[in-house]
Amino acid sequence: MIATTTTASARVYKLHARPAWRRLLLTREAAIIALLILVIAVALATVRNFDSPLTVTYLLRDVAPILLIALPMTLIIISEEIDLSVASIVGLSSVTTGILTNAGWPVALAALTAVVVGIVCGVVNGFLVTVVGLPSLAVTIGTLALFRGIAVGLLGTTAITEFPEIWTDLAKANIPGTPVPAIMIPFVILAIVFAVLLHFTPFGRSLYAIGLNKETAQFSGIDVGRTKFILFVLSGAVSGFAGVYFTLLYSNARGDNAMGLELQVIAAVLLGGVSIFGGRGALHGVIAGVLLIGTLGSALRLAGVTSDIINVITGVLLIASVVSASLLGWLQKRRTAAIGKRKGRAGASSDAG
Q: Is the pLDDT of residue 351 over 80?
A: no
Residue-wise DSSP of 11-54: HHHSGGGS-HHHHHHSSHHHHHHHHHHHHHHHHHHHSTTTTSHH
pLDDT of residue 349: 58
Query: Which contiguous run of DSSP H or E holds residue 304?
Result: none
pLDDT band for position 9 (cuts 50, 70, 90) = very low
Note the pTM of the prediction, 2 decimals. Answer: 0.87
Q: Is the pLDDT of residue 252 over 60?
A: yes
pLDDT band for position 353 (cuts 50, 70, 90) = low
Q: Are 148 and 255 in contact (CB under 8 A)?
A: yes
Query: What average pLDDT does this structure show over 65-70?
Result: 96
pLDDT band for position 338 (cuts 50, 70, 90) = low
pLDDT band for position 183 (cuts 50, 70, 90) = very high
Can you give the C-alpha Rg of the chain in angstroms?
Answer: 22
Measure the N-to-C terminal CA separation of the chain; round to a whole number of Å: 34
pLDDT digits (tens, 9 = 90+) for 296-307: 999 999 999 888
Q: Are 50 and 43 in contact (CB under 8 A)?
A: yes
Closest CA to 40 of 311, 304, 291, 307: 291
Contacts of 201 (CB under 8 A, 6+ apart): none
